[in-house]
Structures are given as C-alpha cells and as structure tokens.
Amino acid sequence: MGTFFELFLGNWYCWFKSFYSDYLSQYLWGYNPVSGAYDLELRYNTIGLYTLGISLLMVILYYYVIDHPRFCKWWSWLIVALVNSAIALFVGYYCVQSDYDAGKIPDELLYSRDENGEIIQYLISIPGECWSFGISNMFMAFLFFIILSFLLHWWSRVAKYSPFIKF
Amino acid sequence: MKTYVFCIGGTGARVMKALAMLLTTGVKIEVDEIVPIFIDPDAAAADLTRTISFLRDYQYINEQLHFTSDMKNNFFKTQISELIPGYRLELSNTQNNKFQQYMDFASLDIANQALAYMLFSAKNLGSDMDVGFKGNPNIGSVVLNQFAQSEAFFDFANSFRPGDRIFIVSSIFGGTGASGFPLLLKNLRGIDMNFPNAGNIKDAAIGAITVLPYFNLAQSTDGKNDIDSSTFISKAKAALEYYDKNISGNNSLNAFYYIADDIYDTYAYSVGGPTQANKAHIIELLAALAIVDFCKMDNDILQSSKGKALRPIYKEFGAEADDEEMIFSSFYGITRKEIQRPMTEFTLFCKFLNEHLSSSQSQKWTKGKRPFDDNFFNGIFFSSHLRAVKENYLQWLKEMASNRRRFSPFHLEEMKKDVFGFVKGVKPGKVINYRSNYDLFDYYLCDIEPKISNNLSTEARFIELLYQTVNKLVEDKKLA
C-alpha cells in the first residue's frame, strides 16, 4: 500500500464500496494475487482522477462558460451536477468493463475454480458490478462537484451564489 | 456657475420639462446648477403642475445621489434648484380677479377709462386673471409689469453671482409669453440699482428663445374661443416687429434663439387651468437644447456693458431631414451627438425597469456586499420618485411620438427578442457573448456590480450600476 495521498481517493471510494464486491475492490486497489501484494495499478486513483477532471470541467463549464443569468438557480446547478454524475456512471462502468475485456482483472479475483480449473463461482459479476462501480463513481462525482463548486464559485460573474444562497 | 431659466407661460413650462428630461438622461450642460423660475398667472395649468411635479422628483433623486468622484453616472447629474418656493414667481392680485378689477378700472377718471377702452376690449376687461391672459399680450403687458416688485424677484437678485447666466423661454404667439418676455428683459437690463447684485444682473449674459407657432387649437365645444389659433401668425408677426426694435434693435440679448415649424398638430381647445395639458412636442425639446447651447458658450462671446450685449448672437435650428417623423438620423451630427447617446441610455434604463427588473431581481447583482433588497425596491426613492420619473419620461416620449411633427426615435413597445433593436434607424452591433437581450443585460449587471464603490449610498449604487451597464451596452451594441 502507498502513502496517504496515493490512498486518498481509494479511501473515498470505499465509502461507497457496498455497491460492489470485495474482489472488485481488491482489483481496484491494485492487488496482485500472484505476489500477494498491492503492486498492480491503483485503479481507484486513475478512475478517481478521470472523474475529478470531468467534474472540474463541468464546474468550470457551469460557473465560467455557461454562466448564464437564466441558468443560475439552485436547480440549474443541480442539473449540471446530475449530468456530471451520469457521465461518471458511464465512466465507472466503462473503465471496469474495458479492464475486464482487456483481461487486466486477475483471474483469481474473477473466478473461483476447482482443481481441474473449472469455474465453480464468479467472484466478480460482469457486467453487473461494472454498473455497480459506476454507481459508486456517480456518488463520488457528485461529491467532487460539490467540493469544486465551493472552491470555484467565487469568481463566477453571474452564478457566484448558485446554489449556496437560496434565491 | 448657475443659469437661471425664466420660463414664461405654458410653452415655458413645457420647454423646462423637456430640459429636465434631457438632464435626467445625462445630456451634458456646461453649468453646475439650473434654477427654473416660472412666470405664469395660471397656477393650475396642467403643463405647469406636471413640470413642477417632475422637477420635484428630479430634485429628490439628484439630492440622494450625492455625486462623488467615485461615480461615472450622468443620469440626474445637473443640480436643479428651487430658489423660489414652488419654482413659481407669484403674481399678486391675479387670483379670483377680473382684469378690470386688477387695474382698478372703476377708480380711473373718465379720460383714462376712455384710454383703457381704446387699448382693451370689453372682453379683455372682463377676463378672468386665474387662467393667464388667454392669448392677449396687451393684458399680459400690464399684469406682468409687476414682477420686479415681488419678493421672489428680490430673492433672485440676492442669489445672483458674477458669472451666473439668465435664459428666458417664451412663446411669441400667446399672451403670457409674448408680453412677459420683453417686460422681464426690460426689468433685468434696466434693473433698479437698489436691488442686490443689480450691476451683475444688468450686465449678465442673457439668452432667450422665442418659440414661434407650432400648434393650432381646435374650436371649443361651445364655439366661443377666447383663444383663436388663426391669430397666432399675425400675433407672432406683430411681436417680432416689436422685438426687432426693442430687443434685437437695442442689443438687449447676448444670444437670441428662434424656433419654428411649418407642420402643425391641432390640440384640443383649453382656455387654461388643469385642462391645459398639451402633448410634448419636438419643438420644446429643441428649444431646451438652446439652453444647453447657451450654457456652452464662452464668456468672451457673452460680454455685456451698460445693459447691452457687446456681440449679440442670433440662432435658428435646422435639421438634416424634413421628415414628418423625426428620428436621430434626421438631425445634423451636432444635435445627434448631443442627445442620442444619453437618451438611448436612459430609455434602455427605463425599458429595463419596466420590462425585466422583476425577473432580474433574483440575480447576483442584487445580492452583493450592499444588496438591493426589498427595503430598497419598496422604499420611497425607487417606488415613488424613480418610478414617477420613469413613467413621466416614457410618457413624454410617447407624447412626442404622437404629435405633429413626430419625434419618435425609439420603439417603446416591449421587444424581448430584440431588446437592443429599440433605436429606430440603428442596427445593433454584435458583441462576443453568447448571451442576448435581457440575459446580456443581466450578465453586464452581474459583471459590473462588484466594481461599484461600496462607499456610495444604496440609491447611488443602484443608479451608478444601471448607468454603467446601459452605458457599456450602448457602447458595445453601437446604439449611439
């Protein structure tokens, strides 16, 4: 396991871990069943940074590009936040699904096999858990959007008080 | 430096109203203070009462704005002062009196009564003084000769300072203006040297505009017209002949403006009083511009000595196009430059207040460090005085647009999908901004609001913010 900052996003994702299995979580933490160590890519960070980046773009879009007098009410902010979450849902789904398709998820985390190598149990259900992770990524994106809105709304010309002062 | 504007009769009141409207919009006038003084025996004339009511609203707003160096605002910038309570020079013994009672006809000896009968008809002698002189300058020349004895005239003399100027507005075709103007001028140039500042007044820069006939009057409902508009031209000719000898001929004025038109509208007949509410007319606006022009003149040009102008100037107004409907492009550049931008800015301001403010009140610009909250919008400044000014201004524009000749530079109807297309003959320019119409207006308000000084009062901040916004919009959209 890495430093506090390396683990920061993963720890946040774990708040919403109940949507998917421990096996998928293990993969996302970078667990390597062969070595028994966390030496694979820390996917939480990669996907988290994608989501953070998209949320940042959406916040900038809302506060500085759209910045429209008719689109500065709390509900307009909420619409953009929900759109951001919806994008995150698909990003989460796509990342796990593409990792699976590319064979990046270790077999040991995907299946339980008998002595003959026959699959006796699917440890990670695909594509169900891709969507489940997408849902947790959706919550993360909403969280990012709130935090970034707090940080970046000050310099908006029109939407400065959206959604923090009730209109 | 002050300019005292003596406004004689109904035309005087309407020209003063036009000047106040122009000052409201921020037309630049090279004077610190305008002091209107109305001379009209008809205290109830709607033209006069409407003007006075507007001046009071203007004055209130001007006082609330406390113009400081922090402000770029030109709306309501020039101070209008009430030297005489009610702005009106009271004429004694005119209330509830007939002319013959006023001149104490019964006490005259037979010879003088005979002379009076030669000068005044029986109808003249029986005229009621409450409603002016009903187009009879011969009556006016008697009654108005008293104003030099009034306390108000003394107050005027007392407040006069070297460098102050005087301007007289009158019509030539009625009773009050035609008779009052030469009398007033005589009293100013030949002022009794016992008055305070008499020397300064005698040699002051004095300008005047005389308005030639520009409307007709319809027949009265009973067919008995005390004022007959068919005599306007002959009266004007007679008065001009008199002016030629006694005003122009003896260099009494430093600057003398004439204005006339050959397209007339016919107004409903009114002998005076509350029913005398003539529609605003472009001639009155242009006459008001004469005052602006007079205030701009160099002192060197307006020198007087021993009550005579050393270099008298005579001016007329000309327009580029003789259109029945005038718009800004109908004027020559100098006039356009003077009025187009301020009028466009203030009209946009009024349209915003009327058409969009209620929707815009939830925007960020109302919620800054010094918010514009319900207390402000329900307060007397906004809900009473500013609203009255806005309504009066728009009404004034509508009246000019419905008169003949028409002055109709703006589309005053609501055009929410083409907000900036309201200036006739002007195609709004493009701005690099995807917002349009009132969304663009709101965007500019939100952008400018944080830059407005918080040291200003809420009233001043509001006007300053709206001024800077409409100023930038008019600039960016190339509306003037």
CB contact under 8 A, B364 and A160: yes
End-to-end Cα distance, chain A: 47
Question: Cα B52 vs. chain centroid, distance in angstroms?
Answer: 10
Residue ranges of E strands in B393-457: 406-407
> To the nearest 10°, the Cα dihedral for B49, B54, B55, B61?
150
What does the pLDDT read at residue B135?
Answer: 63
CB-based contact, B345 to chain A, within 8 Å? no
CATH of B2-94+132-317, one of 3.90.550.10, 3.30.420.40, 3.65.10.10, 3.40.50.1440: 3.40.50.1440
What does the pLDDT read at residue B121?
Answer: 79
Residue ranges of E strands in A62-118: 111-113
Alpha-carbon gap, residue B475 to B324, rounded angstroms: 29
Q: Is A34 helix (H, G, I), strand (E, B) or coil?
A: coil
Alpha-carbon gap, residue B60 to A111, rounded angstroms: 84
End-to-end Cα distance, chain B: 30
Q: Is the pLDDT of residue B423 over 70?
A: yes
A/B interface, count of CB pairs below 8 Å: 33
Alpha-carbon gap, residue B50 to B10, rounded angstroms: 11
Alpha-carbon gap, residue A66 to A80, rounded angstroms: 11
Q: Is the pLDDT of residue B50 over 50?
A: yes
Residue A165: pLDDT band by 50, 70, 90 thresholds?
Answer: low
Alpha-carbon gap, residue B280 to B258, rounded angstroms: 18
Alpha-carbon gap, residue B35 to B18, rounded angstroms: 15
Which residues face B7 on adjacent strands? Answer: B38, B169
Contact call for residues A104 and A141 (beta carbons, < 8 A): no
What does the pLDDT read at residue B297?
Answer: 95
- Closest CB to B443 among A157, A165, A167: A157
What does the pLDDT read at residue B245?
Answer: 87
Question: Cα B254 vs. chain centroid, distance in angstroms?
Answer: 21
Per-residue tokens: B380 = 């007397």
Residue with tokens 């101070």: B79
Which residues face B325 on adjacent strands? Answer: B406
- Closest CB to B447 among A68, A157, A165: A157
Which residues face B208 on adjacent strands? Answer: B168, B256
Q: Is the pLDDT of residue B272 over 60?
A: no
Contact call for residues B333 and B13 (beta carbons, < 8 A): no
What does the pLDDT read at residue B222?
Answer: 62
Q: Is B33 helix (H, G, I), strand (E, B) or coil?
A: strand
Contact call for residues B166 and B309 (beta carbons, < 8 A): no
Question: Which residues on B lie below 8 Å from A73 (Cβ)?
Answer: 362
What does the pLDDT read at residue B105?
Answer: 80
Which residues face B206 on adjacent strands? Answer: B166
CB-based contact, A70 to chain B, within 8 Å? yes
How is chain A split into domains, by residue range?
4-155
Alpha-carbon gap, residue B90 to B437, rounded angstroms: 50
CB contact under 8 A, A165 and B443: no
Alpha-carbon gap, residue B89 to B91, rounded angstroms: 6
Render B47-92 in DSSP notation, one character per residue.
HHHHHHHHHHHHHHHHHHH---TT----TT-SEE--SSGGGB-PPT
CB-based contact, A167 to chain B, within 8 Å? yes
How is chain B split into domains, by residue range?
2-94+132-317, 333-476
Alpha-carbon gap, residue A100 to B91, rounded angstroms: 101
Taking only the tens place, the pLDDT of each residue in B442-462 is 999 999 999 999 899 999 999
Taking only the tens place, the pLDDT of each residue in B235-247 is 788 888 888 888 8
Among A73, A74, A157, the strongest candidate for a mutation testing the B interface, having the largest count of B CBs within 10 A, is: A157
Instruction: Name the residue in chain A with its Cα closest to that of B360.
Output: A69
Question: Which residues on A lie below 8 Å from B442 (Cβ)?
Answer: 69, 158
CB-based contact, B194 to chain A, within 8 Å? no
Question: Which residues on A lie below 8 Å from B362 (Cβ)?
Answer: 73, 167
Report residue B363: phi and psi, to 5°.
-80, 165
Distances (CA, A) of A40 to A11, A23, A44, A160: 17, 14, 11, 42
User: At B402, which amino acid appears?
Assistant: S
Taking only the tens place, the pLDDT of each residue in B350-404 is 999 999 999 999 899 998 888 999 999 999 999 999 999 999 999 999 999 999 8
What does the pLDDT read at residue A167?
Answer: 42
Contact call for residues B133 and B73 (beta carbons, < 8 A): no
Contact call for residues B455 and B70 (beta carbons, < 8 A): yes
Q: What is the ipTM of this complex?
A: 0.79
Alpha-carbon gap, residue A97 to A78, rounded angstroms: 28
Measure in Å the smallest separation between the Cα of A167 and chain B Cα atoms: 6
Contact call for residues A122 and A110 (beta carbons, < 8 A): yes
CB-based contact, B443 to chain A, within 8 Å? yes
Distances (CA, A) of B364 to A24, A45, A70, A72, B372: 46, 37, 11, 9, 10
Contact call for residues B334 and B290 (beta carbons, < 8 A): no
- Range B73-93 average pLDDT: 89
CB contact under 8 A, A158 and B364: yes
> What does R_g of chain A's alpha carbons equal in angstroms?
19
Residues 6 or more apart in contact with residue B31 via CB below 8 angstroms: B1, B2, B3, B78, B165, B295
Which residues face B410 on adjacent strands? Answer: B423
Supply the mean pLDDT for chain A: 91
Alpha-carbon gap, residue B160 to B167, rounded angstroms: 13
CB-based contact, A75 to chain B, within 8 Å? no
Length of chain A: 167
Please give the angle made by the CA atoms of B248, B249 and B252, to the nearest 5 degrees: 55
Q: Angle, to 10 degrees, between the axis of helix B387-401 and the axis of helix B9-25?
A: 120
CB contact under 8 A, A73 and B362: yes
What does the pLDDT read at residue B45?
Answer: 82
Residues 6 or more apart in contact with residue A98 via CB below 8 angstroms: none
Instruction: Name the residue in chain B with its Cα closest to that of A167.
Output: B362
CB contact under 8 A, A68 and B443: yes
- Of B470, B429, B479, B2, the closest CA to residue B197 belongs to B2
Alpha-carbon gap, residue B102 to B136, rounded angstroms: 15
Residue ranges of E strands in B155-223: 165-171, 205-211, 215-217
Taking only the tens place, the pLDDT of each residue in A67-100 is 999 998 899 999 999 999 999 999 999 999 999 9
CB contact under 8 A, A158 and B367: no
Taking only the tens place, the pLDDT of each residue in B307-364 is 999 999 999 999 999 889 999 999 999 999 999 999 999 999 999 999 999 999 989 9
- B405 upstream amide cis, omega within 30 of 0: yes
Decide which of B424 and B45 is more confident: B424
